[in-house]
Structure 1
Amino acid sequence: MALFGNFVTIGGTLCCALSTGYLVQNGLAAPTDPDAVAERVASAPLRVADVEVAVLPELRNIALTSVTPREGGKAPPAKTPTRVAPELPGPAGRTDCKVAATATAAPMASVDLSVSAPCHGNQRVTVHHSGLSFTETTGPDGRLDVTIPALAENAVFVVALDDRHGAVASARVNDLGGYDRIALQWAGKAGFQIHALEFGASYGQAGHVWADPAARGQGTVTHLGKAGFPEAQVVEIYSFPSDAARRSGTIALSLEAEVTDDNCGREFSAQSFELRANLALRFRELSLKMPDCGATGEFLVLDNLLEDLKIAAR
């Protein structure tokens, strides 16, 4: 995106409903038997623990509506997970159509996920991990290879094709405790972007980090998913190696989007995930209304929606 265009003042253009809780992967301890993993994910892939309703401090110029917990302090039930169908004969009677996935720990507390679906070339696939989900496409040969910043040490990945075939893979991520992570996911063509200004950096300088390959900083922003499908899921994740921090200071985080014909005047649901200081993963629901179409071509900047990171030198 063009970094120095006009910007839209938020004022009353944003409505944000927040509920603060913690996502945990209870029972997903990455057994070595893939069938055991699949069975456990199908029965209880993700559970949301008791919710404390809270609003982060210093959220300015935003109308807030707290989500009230149900009786007993329990969160609303999670969406029904995508079920993985048993393997069936493929096109033209092919029987070598098994969908398989492998997950391997990678540098920077990430996981290399490889999917093989030989009878599902050029098809939509959704990847689920710790509450995150994003939409990708297999290649002509039915393969998909993607590197994903992990949100859990025992990282479990559910791969689901549109015909309900799929697979499950898991990996142990031993270095996750050395990273702070902020993720945002949404559906459709909202075009949101996470921007991080590390230790007082300005736009366009070293230390301004976003999902541009030319951006340079200590942290990184990873973009996952393709928005070309109806209601496609897209994710951006900012990762900072806090255990290797060479200085103390603040990382200012903002959510930005260009106002386009695809998103103007529309309201988008989004979810943020925050993994800070080796604490439990925190989850928040957001409802974001874009400016009307008279603002097309301008840029929306939400500079108090994501809480800044406070970094201590190690």
Structure 2
Amino acid sequence: MIRMQQILTVAGTLACAIGIGFVMQNSDTAKQRYGDEGTKAPKELEDKATSAMLDVQQIKLTSGAFKMDGDLPESPALSVSTPDENLIEVRAPRSVLEGPPSTGATDAATGCEITAEAQAVAAAMVDLRLKAPCLPNERVTVHHNGMIFTETTDARGELETTVPALATEAMFILAFGNGDGAVAQAEVEELNDYTRAVLQWKGKAGFEIHAREFGANYGDAGHHWKEAPGEVANAVTGRSGVLTRHGDSSAPDPLLAEVYTFPKAASQQTGNILLSVEAEITDANCGIEAEAQSLQLEEDGQIRTQDLILSVPECEAVGSFLVLNNLLQDLKVAAQ
């Protein structure tokens, strides 16, 4: 079992052999970043040094192509030149985001047609419309180029949602637990004008993307996260990026996703955008084995993926925050 023994307080991250950095922020640091809400930690944690020691176990990280069925191909483990007692195990398992459980829905009645439509809209997004009149209030899983999240149809068996495209020839599969579903396609010509980073996870892990544009600090106008996602209109005009969240978090054992979109072609600024994955330790996720996957759109249109399996610290750490600095790669925006 791997146990992290040291934290580098100057750099603010724990430097691991494979390059993914972790730090656990205590309550005072969390208040500066996120405000007072939800940042109270136990007294014994507050009395420790300003950067609390992180006890993270069984971290497994892979990268590779992501198939539509959710599996990752086998690949050799990463290697390092010299042994290290803090070496993290690296392997290429099946995708950590397993498919959703069956909803137990009855088979659709004969002749009950399920249809889906996709239409490209602003900021290289796609409007999806699903009609399944025999499957009202049912869980449906949306698949698109490696991205996967779960939604719920309304009382009429319909669903409308907007999804950031990850391919110019964008295909979407909408699947129900009983095996029924539909496919929709759209051509998204302006995708090459944008760059995208996706974080997806299962259940109540509580992960979230933080994007800090061009030197922005936490809380500045250029800091985008779930409480300050930005506007799609600003992404269209090149003023800033935008963060969108996908999936029905109220559904049982949901698959959820966040997508950060930046208009690289129309950007009014150049420089770096710092991306991190963060999670508050709560009563809902403390002590669990959290699963997540990142996907980033490369310049050549390929998708770079990494899987993460993370043992969240136990419940005495509630109120602290985990920061994963290198699960997503920072973006460099150059003049066009």
Q: Same fold (TM over 0.5)?
A: yes
Q: In structure 2, do the counterparts of structure 1 residues 4 and 276 end up closer, same or farther at CA, with 3 Å as the change threshold?
A: farther
Cα distance, 1:278 vs structure 2: 3.7
Q: TM-score, normalised by structure 1?
A: 0.77
Counterpart of 1:19 in structure 2 is 62
Q: Secondary structure at the match of 1:112?
A: strand
Equivalent residues in 2 for 1:295-306, closer than 5 Å: 295-306=317-328
Cα distance, 1:9 vs structure 2: 4.5
Aligned CA-pair RMSD? 3.2
Cα distance, 1:172 vs structure 2: 1.3
Q: Secondary structure at the match of 1:22?
A: coil
Q: Secondary structure at the match of 1:277?
A: coil
Distance between the aligned counterparts of 1:264 and 1:96, measured in 2? Answer: 47
Greater Cα shift, 234-243 or 224-233 = 224-233
Cα distance, 1:305 vs structure 2: 2.8
2:280 partner letter: E
Cα distance, 1:122 vs structure 2: 1.5
- Asked if 1:221 corresponds to 2:237, the answer is no
Q: 2:132 aligns with which of 117, 121, 131?
A: 117
- Asked if 1:246 corresponds to 2:268, the answer is yes
Q: Secondary structure at the match of 1:108?
A: helix
Q: 1:107 aligns with which of 108, 111, 122?
A: 122
User: Does the 8 A contact of 2:279 with 2:323 survive in 1?
Assistant: yes
User: Does the 8 A contact of 2:202 with 2:255 survive in 1?
Assistant: yes
2:244 partner letter: T
Cα distance, 1:175 vs structure 2: 1.3
Q: In structure 2, do the counterparts of structure 1 residues 225 and 89 end up closer, same or farther at CA, with 3 Å as the change threshold?
A: closer
User: Does the 8 A contact of 2:230 with 2:241 survive in 1?
Assistant: no
Equivalent residues in 2 for 1:31-70, closer than 5 Å: 64-67=88-91
Q: In structure 2, do the counterparts of structure 1 residues 63 and 187 end up closer, same or farther at CA, with 3 Å as the change threshold?
A: farther
Distance between the aligned counterparts of 1:255 and 1:81, measured in 2? Answer: 23
Q: 1:4 aligns with which of 24, 35, 39?
A: 35
Cα distance, 1:213 vs structure 2: 5.3
- Asked if 1:183 corresponds to 2:207, the answer is no
Q: Secondary structure at the match of 2:316?
A: helix
Cα distance, 1:291 vs structure 2: 1.7
Counterpart of 1:142 in structure 2 is 157
User: Does the 8 A contact of 2:73 with 2:94 survive in 1?
Assistant: no
Q: In structure 2, do the counterparts of structure 1 residues 228 and 198 end up closer, same or farther at CA, with 3 Å as the change threshold?
A: same
Q: TM-score, normalised by structure 2?
A: 0.72
1:226 partner letter: D
Aligned residues: 276
User: Does the 8 A contact of 1:227 with 1:234 survive in 2?
Assistant: yes
User: Does the 8 A contact of 1:46 with 1:130 survive in 2?
Assistant: no
The runs of 5 or more residues in structure 2 that have no matched partner are 1-29, 42-50, 80-85, 232-238
Encode CA deviations 1:156-214: one digit per residue, 9 max, x unaligned.
11111122211111111111111111111111011111010000111121111112356
Distance between the aligned counterparts of 1:81 and 1:306, measured in 2? Answer: 23
Identity of aligned residues (%): 41
Cα distance, 1:242 vs structure 2: 1.0
1:114 partner letter: R
Counterpart of 2:222 in structure 1 is 207
1:304 partner letter: N
Counterpart of 1:30 in structure 2 is none
Q: In structure 2, do the counterparts of structure 1 residues 304 and 45 end up closer, same or farther at CA, with 3 Å as the change threshold?
A: closer
Encode CA deviations 1:59-95: one digit per residue, 9 max, x unaligned.
xxx8632226xxxxxx969999899xxx9652xxxx5
Encode CA deviations 1:100-130: one digit per residue, 9 max, x unaligned.
1111111111111100011211111111111
Cα distance, 1:151 vs structure 2: 1.1
Q: In structure 2, do the counterparts of structure 1 residues 18 and 154 end up closer, same or farther at CA, with 3 Å as the change threshold?
A: same
Distance between the aligned counterparts of 1:108 and 1:311, measured in 2? Answer: 17
Q: Secondary structure at the match of 1:300?
A: strand
Q: Secondary structure at the match of 1:243?
A: coil
Equivalent residues in 2 for 1:153-302, closer than 5 Å: 153-212=168-227, 215=230, 218-302=240-324
Distance between the aligned counterparts of 2:73 and 2:108, measured in 1? Answer: 40
Counterpart of 1:27 in structure 2 is none
Cα distance, 1:13 vs structure 2: 2.2
Cα distance, 1:18 vs structure 2: 1.7
Counterpart of 1:28 in structure 2 is none
Cα distance, 1:144 vs structure 2: 0.4
